[in-house]
Structure 1
């Protein structure tokens, strides 16, 4: 009784119309829907040259830190982990595309986190989040979904390079392509039937199917103690000195905007489902939620992982009735327990995680229904933002183009007064971003 009383005092369960059992179930549900990040994040960052084993531990530790910070600071049931899309931006756009070392990229993320901590304890970041037009929030989140799905199709070998047409269809009847296709169908059916943890079960089913055609490597145990020597390969390996180089300004700006608006879109989207958005369209305690997000990003960089951000899969726990930070505490405990199952996780091939990327992209695409399809000044900027992301292989390009197009179209169609002054300012900043990029 005293334990329940302590939890009541800490998380205000009755005030939020919930109880311990509901919060625990919600925590399990959220974890099951986002646990794929344990598989996917090390695979993506290892493409950038980072050691898989070290990133595995860093991913889990970053998720624990960010989610616990969110639970205790804001009392929202939002879970955090290394962001999909943001990790792709880290690996493919910055490290591989721009030739920046992963140590320097981690340094940039650390600096970004420090800036966000400063902005979050002042009204600045909350004001920016609440000023973003819903059309652009929708375009950004949808575009990230398209980008994630595109990467999943590439990882599966379903979409391949073609010098004449840029992209072409790969093999889907053998090897990794077949594993991903079968996994996509299984995961899609499970998700459609609202099976809890459909993404995770789909990954496991794809991995099992991979044994049939030799894509999945040999089974080698289930439980193993995490080794500090594995984590040391990425722990505190960030290079802040190189990140402070003047030539890195454009990259820092990219990370700042990508993280800021990715987080904003997720917070707004999940908060709408939870009923947190007030009558003015603002999110109460937004500054505390953003501070937790910034702490996760800063700590994640120290731990050795890409930007830690609020997860849209938190919506699954909210749908199960999760309404307080107790949901996040449960998620954190489950992430900690997952540290000890690395041998089992290590056999999962990239083709088995590709369906999760495609399904997450599909879920993020559903945000497109929030657009006002009768107002072309809303549709065009949103479309430009969303389509530019996968086609230019850059989240920041999509965001920048959306913010440039939106105020101009509004201004020259007589709707300029409807645009917040901050949006005009951000449009100018993004023009500058293209000039220096």
Structure 2
């Protein structure tokens, strides 16, 4: 935000969420409180490596081709998840993946949303993505895939996860491999996002990102604070590119993103 002064929002990463839930908690059978302790330790390690500029040197030492390919890979991963959830992409025993049936209402709504949003973006209409989301929601209601919420407001109850991490169990030597897994996944996730968003915004100078150390420090502090509140590793979000495309150029946009996220906590019934 204001410290690094880049329009790059941060939140718990999608890939790290999946690793936290399915690999660490469900796959390894580690209690979620212990897993939060592991996330906290990885966040502390992030901060230490950033203060000593180790992470910055690693980022600057990665070849540009690998940085750009990481950004492209993140985009492809998110696109694939979206297409899979929309049933545009389905499992196929012969080719592993196949095209979904256009007769399904989910596929029809997804296609409508994609085409509608792309038309708005091609015509350079401000807020094209938000308008596309709203239009797709209305079309989904007409097709019977969703409905109007029965309630609009809800009081959040963070007490269930706030300060529930188990540091004593997380310090166990057998869990340090998970700490390093979080570290390296977050490192490359951050690199891809930073390169992709900063290239789009024109922030890259001579192949390097100015003030990258501040961005990485904000990421580390966010992970520490996130673990205390009950979330998995906090990382830079590639969706920040949408804000940059709309004209965001400073960290002030992140302040408004944070305020909107806080407001969204009270409107959780709308999200279903």
> Is residue 249 of structure 1 aligned with residue 147 of structure 2?
no
Going by fraction, where is helix more abundant, 1 or 2?
A: 1
> Is residue 313 of structure 1 aligned with residue 239 of structure 2?
yes
Higher RCO (C-alpha 8 Å, min separation 6)? 2
Q: Relative to structure 1, is the Cα distance of residues 147 and 272 closer, same or farther in structure 2, using a 3 angstrom cutoff? A: closer
How far did residue 142 of structure 1 move? 1.3
How far did residue 120 of structure 1 move? 1.1
Q: Relative to structure 1, is the Cα distance of residues 184 and 87 closer, same or farther in structure 2, using a 3 angstrom cutoff? A: farther
How far did residue 116 of structure 1 move? 0.4
Alignment-derived partner of residue 222 in structure 2: 296
> Is residue 134 of structure 1 aligned with residue 64 of structure 2?
yes
> Is residue 215 of structure 1 aligned with residue 141 of structure 2?
no
Residues 176-199 of structure 1: CA deviation (Å, up to 9, x unaligned): 333323222223323333333433
> Is residue 345 of structure 1 aligned with residue 271 of structure 2?
yes
> Separation in 1 of the partners of 2:88 and 2:46?
38
Pairs within 5 Å for 1:381-400? none
TM-score normalised by structure 1 residue count: 0.56
How far did residue 89 of structure 1 move? 3.8
Residues 244-273 of structure 1: CA deviation (Å, up to 9, x unaligned): 344433332222111111112222333334
Whether the 8 Å CA contact 1:140–1:261 is kept in 2: the answer is yes
Whether the 8 Å CA contact 1:85–1:147 is kept in 2: the answer is no
The alignment of Structure 1 onto Structure 2 pairs a total of residues equal to 272
Alignment-derived partner of residue 264 in structure 1: 191
Q: Bigger CA drift: 118-127 or 321-330?
A: 321-330
Alignment-derived partner of residue 82 in structure 2: 152
How far did residue 132 of structure 1 move? 0.6
Structure 1: gaps of 5 or more residues: 1-69, 347-437
Whether the 8 Å CA contact 1:171–1:178 is kept in 2: the answer is no
Alignment-derived partner of residue 183 in structure 1: 113
Matching residue within 156, 159, 164 for 1:227: 156
Two-structure CA RMSD over aligned residues (Å): 2.7
SS in 2 for 1:74: coil
Whether the 8 Å CA contact 2:72–2:192 is kept in 1: the answer is no
> Is residue 278 of structure 1 aligned with residue 208 of structure 2?
no
How far did residue 319 of structure 1 move? 4.6
